[in-house]
Amino acid sequence: MSTATSPLPKVIAIDGPTASGKGTVASLVAAQLGYHYLDSGAIYRVLAVASEHAALDVAKPEHQDALVKLAWSLPVEFVGDRVVLQGLDVSAAIRTEEAGLHASKLAVVPDIRAGLLQRQRDFRKAPGLVADGRDMGSVVFPDASLKVFLTASAQVRAERRVRQIEGRGQKADFQAIHADLVARDERDMQRAVAPLKPYPDSRVLDCSDMGIEQVVQTIIGWAQSV
Ligand code: DC
């Protein structure tokens, strides 16, 4: 009997700061390659919304154990484009700036990150996976065949975020968004566990002056060469 095991499905890891366009880019790369797609930030955001529902505050030490438990048991389902938390559609609720900021505070806690790890790895299925986040290439899928660090200047990212929010018919304050984004980058980069940074084996792509399609084709070109 053969003892050979089949290789694990390929992973393309796309990490980078908030509003770098990695979500759009990663899902387009996944669609073109026929791969699965993991938006790992959505999982942190769902935890943020779930902790609000449970009235748990990450700033309160007495809530830490309950938050870690919630991370391990988070009752979330991804149904097509919809994100469902215990039967409740939270697809819109997780996309607010507030949920993003809250997620970044939860993401600093190592035991919370550990609780969400296997849930992310479960997305790795044949024929392959494109995963976007902050630590896809370092912690979650260190054996990814391609690791991209996608970035853009804070100015360009804030402008994109404003367009996104206005596109939803909501009002956006550029200065406030720019400040939030810089604060979130700072927290994501400075945390002790899985900080946001390019790793020695990642390819850095600054897309400040690139269109989405150009970014997608660059990554697909790289994916085909590894
Ligand atoms: O990518 P995003 O903006 O949806 O992520 C929201 C927050 O979740 C982000 O500020 C930090 C955290 N996060 C993380 O720490 N690790 C990931 N792999 C993805 C997100």
Mutate to test the pocket of ligand 1, among 44, 47, 187 (most ligand atoms within 8 A of CB): 44
Q: Name the residue of 37, 101, 104 to mutate for ligand 1: max ligand atoms within 8 A of Cβ.
A: 104
In the structure encoding, which two tokens stand for residue 65, read together? 């154990």
Which of 35-44, 60-69, 108-117, 185-194 has the weakest average pLDDT? 185-194
pLDDT tens by residue, 94-150? 998 899 989 999 999 999 999 999 999 999 999 999 999 999 999 999 999 999 999
Specify the pLDDT at position 3: 56
Q: pLDDT at residue 22 above 80? A: yes
Residue 102 Cα to ligand 1 middle (Å) = 10
Pocket test for ligand 1, best of 51, 97, 111, 134 (most atoms within 8 A of CB): 134
**Cβ contacts of residue 115 below 8 Å, gap of 6+?**
68, 69, 70, 71, 72, 74
Distance from the alpha carbon of residue 133 to the mean position of ligand 1, in angstroms: 6
Q: What is the pTM of this model?
A: 0.91
Measured from the Cα of 22, ligand 1's closest atom is: 1
Q: Is the dihedral of CA 102, 105, 109, 113 positive or negative?
A: positive
Q: Mean pLDDT over all residues of the chain?
A: 93
Report the alpha-carbon distance of residue 38 to residue 43 in Å, rounded: 9
Strand-pairing partners, residue 39, are: 132
> Do 2 and 10 contact (CB within 8 A), yes or no?
no
In the block, tokens 């566990």 appear at 193
Nearest to 101 by CA among 163, 161, 150: 161
- Nearest protein CA to atom 15 of ligand 1, as residue: 107
160 Cα–ligand 1 center, Å: 17
48 alpha carbon to ligand 1 midpoint, in Å? 11
